Amino acid sequence: MCGRLAVTLPNDAMAQMFSALPANNLPTDPNYNLCPTDQIAVVTGGADARRFISMRWGFLPHWYKTETDGPLLINARAETLAEKPAFREACRQRRCLIPVSGWYEWQKDTDGNRLPWYFWPTDKTPAVLAGIWQSWGDGTNSCAIVTTTANETLSKVHHRMPVTLTPEEWGLWLGEEGHGAAQLMTPSPEGRFTCHRVGKDVNSNRASGAQLILPLTDA
């Protein structure tokens, strides 16, 4: 699963990159330790224009009576996305783009210690993750990251990875270019992303700062 994110990208630059209209309440950037239930900036499509808006990271199905009424749905598996009652309507009608700088995964060592790794684009461009979203309750917008089987390189740390999209694929995922988004839910090509061990400070959801994504020199 993808359980923590780094978002260091200026909101105004991201809105411009996606040709999207930015909302006034976008999360403060940068955030090197964005956690589930935090607000995250996402791109949605529309009949008139794309929009860059804030959403809760943690998908809330319409039948939840409270935000804690069921499991915390931060990820949605590509293999079952169109079948799961929580996700199938959003899969068809409400897909979004989630731009991040990178994401964290944890690997257990032989002693059971959780060792954090940071994954990021090799070319240092933004990583654009495939997402789905839902409007819930009083109008709260929430989202989940679509995941798939990790490619060979990343599977050495974790068996899952986010579905990532190139600029040529954004329109199709947002539903702007007809049908066929399902074909995009595949592992990224080898070499597009890399990873390195980082310090255990990020194990705390209260940790912050650019040092969290720095390579662990004694790993």
**Residue 178: predicted pLDDT:** 85
Residue 219 has pLDDT above 70, yes or no: no
Start-to-end Cα distance in the chain? 22
Please name every residue paired with 54 in a beta bridge, in sequence order, or none if there are none.
41
Cα gap 97→133, rounded to integer Å: 10
Cα gap 197→23, rounded to integer Å: 35
Q: What tokens were used for 132?
A: 């789905």
Residue 42 has pLDDT above 80, yes or no: yes
Q: How confident is the model at residue 7 (pLDDT cuts 50, 70, 90)?
A: very high
Residue 73 has pLDDT above 70, yes or no: yes
Cα gap 204→82, rounded to integer Å: 34
3-state secondary structure 23-71: CCCCCCCCEEEECCCCEEEEEECCCCCEEEEEEEECECCCCCCCCCCCC
- Inter-CA distances, 152 with 86, 114, 189, Å: 30, 21, 9
The pLDDT mean for the chain works out to: 95
Identify the weakest region by mean pLDDT among 33-42, 81-90, 107-116, 197-206: 107-116
* Residue 117, amino acid: W
